[in-house]
Amino acid sequence: MTRTRSRSALWGTVATGAVLTLGLTACGGPSAPQPGDASGDASSSSSSTIPDTSALLDAVQVDDALAAQVPADIKDKGTLVVGSNVQSAPNNFYAADGSTVIGSDHDLITAVGKKLGLDVEYQNQDFGSLITSLQSGRVDVTIAAMNDTAERQQAIDFVDYLTSGITLMVQKGNPDDITGPDALCGKSIAVVTGTSQQEFAEATSTQCESDGDEALDITVTDSDSQNQTQLRTGRIDAIVNDLPSAVYISKTAQDGQAFEVVPGDVIDGAPYGIGVNKDDAALRDAIAAALDSLIDDGTYGEVLDAWGITSGSVTEATVNGGK
């Protein structure tokens, strides 16, 4: 996708302070290895520093009026099947046991399920397959720090639950002196397939060539953990990642000594949305109502505070609010 605006304009409109106000120093923990993998590139932090939100989630009670809105087929099975990419701390990642899903997204969708009287069953998938899995009925919803965009709204509906954007992460000390998108021409970067980060990288590369500069060398992978390995070992110069993940990883990987976030405005700020099949408006509306209830009773704010992402909070659930 070619954009005519300058590379500086691609850097977004959110103030630099957003990077600082995430306040992720209060929590920590590993990045997301696959099930059964006890190691990970950001796994050097003690698992004891990961927030324990079990009591918070246990306190969420079913709301009978909201549960009555759940479609009969899902109510009868009693389980909300959630598609996610469980490789993105602090959103969705594996605990130290290599099999238990934790994270801010996990906590929010679990709380939504409890409000609706449903258990939550996670399915870990490649990010690029989440929308097709939702369309095919393999999962009931998705939650994976997925941006709600007008293009994606053509395929699925969204219930927006957080506002964020993307940023650049480099090796500690920034050895390649990457100061922002204007410094990416000719650099090697990594992104996860099917994400807004990939779209941004390709647009920036096109802009570089239009300006007579060298294109980006873009590596597309299936996971953040793969990208972290490549950055840590010097095979790439930078990662384009969601702001919450980039800040979390830079604070926790190797006790904060592996990576750092490039200061600057957040790139392409947009809402994160819970994905719902377009043919399932009743489920979509029930999820939106449950999220509103969690916002009103304070549970939503407590979850975000536990994971250090309160700067992205919303005041109400919005359906298809992305542009």
The model's pLDDT over 115-153, given as tens digits with 9 standing for 90+, comes to: 999 999 999 999 999 999 999 999 999 999 999 999 999
The model's pLDDT over 235-271, given as tens digits with 9 standing for 90+, comes to: 999 999 988 889 888 988 898 999 999 998 888 888 9
Does one domain contain both 291 and 157?
Answer: yes
Identify the band that residue 102 occupies on the pLDDT scale cut at 50, 70 and 90. very high
Instruction: Report the SS3 class of residue 221.
Output: strand
> What number is the average pLDDT over the span 184-190?
98
- pLDDT of res. 49: 63
> How many domains is the chain built from?
2
Residue 78 lies in a domain: yes
Q: Is the model's pLDDT at 16 over the cut of 50?
A: no
* Predicted TM-score (pTM) above 0.85: no
Residue 134 lies in a domain: yes
Does one domain contain both 74 and 98?
Answer: yes
What letter would DSSP give residue 275? E
CATH assignment of the domain containing 113 = 3.40.190.10
Q: 315 vs 242, which has greater pLDDT?
A: 315
- Strands (E) located in the chain: 79-84, 93-94, 101-102, 119-124, 141-142, 156-171, 188-192, 217-221, 238-242, 259-261, 267-277, 318-319
Does one domain contain both 192 and 158?
Answer: no
- pLDDT of res. 244: 86
Q: 14 vs 314, which has greater pLDDT?
A: 314
Domain containing 183 equals 9-25+166-268
What letter would DSSP give residue 73? H
The model's pLDDT over 60-96, given as tens digits with 9 standing for 90+, comes to: 999 999 999 999 999 999 999 999 999 888 999 999 9
Does one domain contain both 230 and 149?
Answer: no
Selection from 230, 233, 235, 231 nearest residue 262 by Cα: 231
Question: CA distances (Å), 73 to each of 66, 69, 70, 147, in order?
Answer: 15, 12, 8, 28
- pLDDT of res. 176: 96
